Amino acid sequence: MRPILNLLAALALVSPLFAADAPLTADAFDAATVGKTFFYQRGGISYGAEQYLPDHKVVWAFTGDDCKKGYWYSRGTLICFIYEDKLDPQCWAFTQTADGLSAQFDGDTADQPIVALRSSPEPMACMGPDVGA
């Protein structure tokens, strides 16, 4: 009986570590992102920035590119994005890690995730045709 109790106690200590890697729910993702701009990197290289607005609206730009308006919705454990220039959904599994908000593209297990190492309450500085819009 004692070994079983020791095993259960060990599992109870380890289970929070696994929970940290669980994908964020839509509500948790919204609570973590709305009203903020996140700056993403992949492998230490700037990848892009996304501003999260109320009602699941977003503004995205790859580093050095024009801003694109869009919106997000949940599909199971994934957060999917539709942008004005790309109507097919881009779905990601978001997790909160020690490094920051991490996103793994759906079905792309071999590639490094993008990680938001910092965020800001300031809106994005957009370049391109809709500057100031």
* pLDDT tens string 24-78: 999 999 999 999 999 999 989 999 999 999 999 999 999 999 999 999 999 999 9
Count of domains in the chain? 1
Domain-located, residue 9 = no
- Specify the pLDDT at position 79: 98
Checking if the pLDDT of 18 tops 60, the result is: no
128 in a structural domain: no
Question: Tens digits of per-residue pLDDT, 82-92?
Answer: 999 888 999 99
Specify if 133 maps to a domain: no
| Rounded CA separation 1/21 (Å) | 31
Write out the residue range of the structural domain in which residue 46 sits.
Answer: 22-120
